[in-house]
Amino acid sequence: MADNDMIMIGGVRISFPHLFQRPIINGEEGKCGAALMLDPEKHAKAIAQIEEGISALCKEKLKGRKLPSDKLCLRDGADKGRTEYEGYQILSANSKGKPLVIGGDGSTVISSEEDSPIYAGCYVNAKVRLWAQDNKFGKRINSELVAVQFFKDGEPLDGSYVSAEDAMSGFGGIDGANDNEDGDDFLAA
């Protein structure tokens, strides 16, 4: 597998999407990226491509060395210690900078988190690139999140996502001056 080969994964659930800002993890700056939750049946072709790519990179770049699972970007969800990952293969995909976030039309670039429809638990189309690490930090096979596109809504993983429609529900138009400046009537509705 050449270093520039890309793998497309369609309709995959996303977890921990850090697409626009590097997260702070345990007091240290992390990388932009996400965890992609691949269904073993639905994403069998993509999983096979990833496994073939990992194998090829181990052979070509790491002199045939077999790496333990914790040094690979694709792992069984049960190994990650999160109940929502059970039954999935988890691809950890990070990016040196920000990955490209693409709009639903396939040609618009989304440049801010405020404009992005992507949240933990939704489904995305993703493009990743595998690469071999062999440096002072160790030997690993990593995955770079090159680009991501919102595909469809899903059950939020962290419970914090609220769609604009749900957030706006219950609000009405303002008709003239409000007689009750405290807004208590609003809360009674």
Is residue 89 in some structural domain? yes
Asked whether residue 52 is domain-assigned, the answer is: yes
pLDDT of residue 183: 55
Domain annotation covers residue 130: yes
User: Is the residue at 179 inside a domain?
Assistant: no
Three-class SS of 148-173: EEEEECCCCCCCCCCCHHHHHCCCCC
What residues make up the domain containing 92? 6-157
Let me know if residue 185 belongs to a domain. no
Nearest to 104 by CA among 143, 161, 152: 152
Element (DSSP H or E) covering residue 6: strand 6-18
Q: For residues 51 and 57, is the Cβ–Cβ distance under 8 A?
A: no
Interval 134-180: pLDDT, tens: 999 899 999 999 999 999 999 998 655 566 677 777 787 776 555 55
Question: What token pair was written down for 173?
Answer: 């138009």
**Are 4 and 129 within 8 A, CB to CB?**
yes
Both tokens of 167, joined, read 């957030």
The string of DSSP codes covering 135-150 is ETTEEEEEEEEEEEEE
Q: Which pLDDT does position 1 carry in this prediction? A: 46
Q: Is residue 184 part of a domain?
A: no
* Number of domains the chain is built from: 1
Give the closest residue to 149 by CA, choosing from 112, 90, 115, 100.
100
CATH number at residue 10: 2.40.50.140
Query: Looking at the predicted structure, is the pLDDT value of residue 3 above 50?
Result: no
Reading the block at residue 156, the tokens are 């939020």
Measured in degrees and rounded to the nearest 5, phi and psi for residue 166 equal -65, -40
The span from the CA of 166 to the CA of 54, in Å, is 42
With respect to residue 167, please indicate whether it lies within any of the assigned structural domains.
Answer: no
Question: Does residue 17 sit within a domain?
Answer: yes
106, 147 contact by CB (below 8 A)? no
Q: Which residues pair with 143 in a beta bridge?
A: 93, 130
Q: Give residue-wise pLDDT tens across range 10-59.
A: 999 999 999 999 998 889 898 999 999 999 999 999 999 999 999 999 99
